[in-house]
């Protein structure tokens, strides 16, 4: 990962569909000690929820996903500014901005970025990143 800052902390993105936001907050709570070692970025509502529950984390809330937050994270991926993407996807709910979601997951794959879309996968990815 390249970064314009001298900060050696990992840069991780946290995103969750509406039906998965509680699950993301709980996952972040379980891993708060590890996540304190990283700079976190999240789309709007997800970031607000995590900041409210875990104010000790270094988390920057971006725009809401449908209002450009997904694109902000996509740009960070393209610029090599993220070390991992944790995107808890709800496969059972229709998403009006589904094309943005697909673009973000596609970029994670194209740039070979560690990408987790469920809590159990996120556990494995987080443990691997911090080894």
**DSSP letters along 46-104, please?**
HHHHHHHH-TTSEEEE-S-GGGTHHHHHHHHHHTT--SEEEEE--TTS--TTHHHHHHH
| pLDDT computed for residue 8 by the predictor | 86
| pLDDT computed for residue 66 by the predictor | 84
| pLDDT computed for residue 97 by the predictor | 67
| pLDDT computed for residue 1 by the predictor | 42
| Burial (CB count within 10 angstroms: exposed 0-12, middle 13-18, buried 19+), residue 123 | middle
The enclosing H or E element of 16 equals strand 10-16
The domains of the chain, with CATH numbers, are 14-129 (3.40.50.1380)
Q: What are the pLDDT tens digits along the chain (131 aa)?
A: 444 445 689 999 999 999 999 999 999 999 999 999 999 999 999 999 999 999 999 999 999 988 899 999 999 999 999 999 999 998 888 776 678 778 999 999 999 999 999 999 999 999 998 87
| pLDDT computed for residue 108 by the predictor | 96
Active site residues: 70
20-29 burial, b if ≥16 CB within 10 A, otherwise e? bbebbbebbe
């Amino acid at each position: 990962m390249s970064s314009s800052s001298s900060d050696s902390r990992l840069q991780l993105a946290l995103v969750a569909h509406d039906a998965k936001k509680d699950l993301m907050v709980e996952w972040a709570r379980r891993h708060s000690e590890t996540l304190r070692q990283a700079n976190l970025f999240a789309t709007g509502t997800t970031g607000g929820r995590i900041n409210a529950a875990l104010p000790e984390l270094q988390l920057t809330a971006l725009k809401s996903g449908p209002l450009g937050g997904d694109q902000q994270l996509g740009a960070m991926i393209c610029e090599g500014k993220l070390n991992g993407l944790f995107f808890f996807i709800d496969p059972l709910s229709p998403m009006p901005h589904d094309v943005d979601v697909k673009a973000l997951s596609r970029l994670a794959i194209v740039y070979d970025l560690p990408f987790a879309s469920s809590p159990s996968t996120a556990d494995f990815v987080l443990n691997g990143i911090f080894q």
